[in-house]
Amino acid sequence: MQLIILFGGASYEHEISIVSATTLKEKLQDHMDLEFVFCDVDHTLYHVHAKDMKAKTFSSGQYKKFAKLTLARGKFQNVKLFSKTELHGIVLNLIHGGDGEDGTIASLLDFYEIKYIGPRIDASVFSYDKRYTKWFAAARGVKTLEYETLHADEHKDTRFSFPVIIKPARLGSSIGVSVVRSVEEFDYALDVAFEFDNTVIVEPFIEGVKEYNLAGYFAHGEIHYSMIEEPQKTEFLDFEKKYMDFSRTESAHEATLDENMQKRLKENFKAIYRDMFEGALIRCDFFVIKDEVYLNEINPIPGSMANYLFKDFPKAIEALAESLPHRKRPKVTYEYIHSISQAKGK
């Protein structure tokens, strides 16, 4: 199987996407034919060979010497006067944050009828914006923490008692996230968050909450779950910790949970995934508070595709690639236009 890993993008998580791509090269190169397509911040696409998949290639700007690609139906291509190079295969959308997770890339790949692993347009909409995730979870009967929304151009205050946690509404990787313990810290934390988004989410911060990560995908008629991980953290999983996690290839330590709680976490995951995220491998992060399960967030393109949560990650990618949803195209016959033309005698 040829897998085309698409990474980069115009996003605050641009560099994290590069880390994820180099990590997947290490994890998958012995199991499938890999090609890499880098999306620069100006949305220029470059063909990067596996041997050049090193951090320095991108930090130094060396990639700008590589072949530029354009999109055509079912493929990437580089067309020159006397030659043409084409990349065919299944694309793995590994662009974190804006472009990759907001529906832009999904729209582009759908438009050009390119098969891909990743969230479709509607799934991107409901998982990219934390407000929409809350609404979607409620519609699916999945609990989330109480929250409020604050905007940059309105009075900045909160109805919650401290401590609270502030998150940009449309950003991942814990960028711009702060735990605020007093009113004196609140305005500064808001200013930090508003640097990244003009809308933020405020939630109560609960000390010592249990957090569990569960990934999964739909293939061959059923949802396949990863192991359940209890991430090791201090106060919350901050950017530095998550950034390091994106380069992880070693297996995670499975959480020690009774069968009932494992079942409940999987049931909540299924409620989120079904009829929405088919075609994608996602990770859901859950809180357990007083024996109740709450969805914290949906990661539609998790760092390094959460490879460390699966015992056989290459097999998971292959199975997912074999079970991608098919988008039915409408048949256009022009019968309506013909009938009007005939009626007018033209």
Length in residues, the chain: 346
Strand partners, 68: 46
Query: Which CATH code fits 2-118?
Result: 3.40.50.20
Averaged over 221-238, what is the pLDDT? 81
DSSP state of 185: H
Q: Where are the alpha helices (DSSP H) in the chain?
A: 14-28, 55-59, 104-111, 121-128, 130-139, 183-194, 239-245, 259-273, 313-321, 335-343
Quote the radius of gyration of the chain (alpha carbons, Å).
22
- pLDDT bracket for residue 233 (50, 70, 90): low
Q: Which residue's entry shows tokens 């999306």?
A: 39
Q: Is the pLDDT of residue 195 over 50?
A: yes
Averaged over 73-85, what is the pLDDT? 91
- pLDDT bracket for residue 247 (50, 70, 90): low
Q: According to CATH, where is 3.30.1490.20 located in the chain?
A: 148-204
CATH assignment of 125-141+208-321, given 1.10.287.130, 3.30.470.20, 3.40.366.10, 3.50.50.60? 3.30.470.20
Distance, in Å, from the CA atom of 143 to the CA atom of 166, rounded to the nearest integer, reads 19
Distance, in Å, from the CA atom of 176 to the CA atom of 169, rounded to the nearest integer, reads 10
Flag whether the pTM goes above 0.85: yes
Per-residue pLDDT reduced to its tens digit, 162-189: 999 999 999 876 788 999 999 999 999 9
Share of the chain above pLDDT 90, in %: 81
Phi/psi region, residue 92 (left: phi>0; alpha: psi -120 to 50; beta: rest), is beta
CATH assignment of 148-204, given 3.20.20.70, 3.30.1490.20, 3.40.50.150, 3.40.1710.10? 3.30.1490.20
